[in-house]
Chain A
């Protein structure tokens, strides 16, 4: 174990993959690893935020990080 992250999900992801206030991290976890353990298919997520900055599937996560996951969305 190496801490926890908060995982927030939005839009069409939300009903099947609800937000998780405290998700346990494993050593060396990336965003993709967390999605895999949530059973959230990676292709459903196109916009990733880590602490309010854009991240990637390959971005590393650390204790206390806040992860925001979005499907493709747009508006304006």
Chain B
């Protein structure tokens, strides 16, 4: 990972391979955000030629460090108008890192809107006409790519939503089975990839080897300790592998923070029909898998395979946020329908959170009733078909709410909130409001401490302690996102000091460094500072670090909860 591949699109596509220069030592979100901060004019249009799309494996990706296969994609977001880092599993990060690239930077714009396929292997780089891939969904795109480039390759692609430059469009990354199921979902990154003129990226690491640590013995010992720590923690070692992320449905519902019918209630009476427990049992009984990794080297295995009644593959195990977004948030309790919509989102190339939130807004606007399964599927199909209505819906919850005259758009900076109501879980509300990314649970997962009692306990219903909690989590998360490690390592490293030390030792052993916990914190702060400075240049002020006002006015059952963290307190999050 000692070079950057820069692709300049214009009248004639060109590329260059550069040294890292000022970007040396960075990876993942640290690298994507540093490049966007340094090279992209914040006032540019997100799908204009001045924006750039940065694709970066984590610092540890491509090595034998456990669970290090997360990929970061960064740009100015078409959805939020601010900086974006969108993160996915799948195989691409490992392969790109083994090819030696710390990042691919796509810049300029596509000549006459044409679409290309970028092919990267050990021999070099080719930019070829996307030809018959144009217009295809992600599944058909990958199928055609496999026929041409084979099965020992990782693919990234956009679906029809990206091609139409919709603000809810994603970039798909293939998993171990070469299915386009892992997505850089948030913020409309698919639209930026299309604007740069790329339909697909082929990453072939044939002939490349695993990245070698500088201090092999120290690295090996730390990796062993790190893996043992992940496996011995009950969340990462038992709960996540057995039930997947959707194990959260019951606990968030129990806490009264499970948003139902476009964030109008905090509990769902039919939660048992869509819970992780029910989902895992259904998958196993049909011959699917309830325990599976999204990339090689994962030691948690929180994913799975969802099959239909006949045992035929439908999609990967839908994640908690997806089940919630297309399920209870739309009044829907049918796991098969939710899995179908997950498949459609993946195929069209859409963010499942944004789409579920948008369909719920459309339901509130009366386009169909809450609970109308066929109505929801039809609305999603409109997006895939690219009808006028579909283009409004594919632009996200904020645009749809405006188009249909609805106040209740559960968004911050134009991005839809995920599966936790900030009135009943105030810490996550602080993260939603203040993260430079727009409403994003992963940016500072206060659920861990507000609900799950990981890393201590801060009462979710009270404002006290939430600012400090969110601040510390946002800093730690930014640093983890730089390493390419899955964020779920946070559960063991927050609870087990020896696992946190093993994590630092692992990085030190790999790079031959002597970093301390303070250095990790400093990295996290740097990343957040670059991101906030970019947003400031794009016109964001502290007044954008707020939840929509109805979260302070409309009480949420069962606790009659309102979001009570004050604006003045929110302004303290980044005063470290």
Contacts and interface: CB of A to CB of B under 8 A. Distances in A.
Contacts, number: 92
Nearest to A68: B254
Contacts of A14: 277
A61 to B, nearest CB: 16
25 contacts: A11-B239, A11-B242, A11-B243, A11-B247, A12-B238, A12-B239, A12-B242, A46-B453, A47-B451, A54-B459, A70-B251, A71-B239, A72-B233, A72-B239, A72-B454, A73-B247, A73-B251, A74-B235, A74-B239, A74-B452, A75-B244, A75-B248, A75-B302, A75-B319, A76-B320
Interface in A33-76: 46-47, 49, 52-54, 68, 70-76
A10 interface: yes
B247 to A, nearest CB: 5
B318 interface: no
B250 A74 contact: no
A25 to B, nearest CB: 20
A4 to B, nearest CB: 19
Interface string A1-45: 000000010111010000000000000000000000000000000
A70 B277 CA distance: 12
B156 to A, nearest CB: 24
A76 B277 contact: no
A7 to B, nearest CB: 12
Interface of B: 233-236, 238-240, 242-248, 250-251, 254-256, 267, 276-277, 302, 319-321, 441-442, 445, 447-448, 451-454, 457, 459-461, 487-488, 491, 558-559
Interface of A: 8, 10-12, 14, 46-47, 49, 52-54, 68, 70-76
Contact of A47 (B233, B251, B256, B491): B251
Contact of A10 (B251, B454, B460, B491): B251
B461 A75 contact: no
A49 B451 CA distance: 10
Nearest to A56: B457
Contact of B453 (A47, A52, A53): A47
Contacts of B302: 75
Nearest to A46: B453
B242 A75 contact: no
Nearest to B442: A76
Contact of B461 (A12, A47, A53, A74): A53
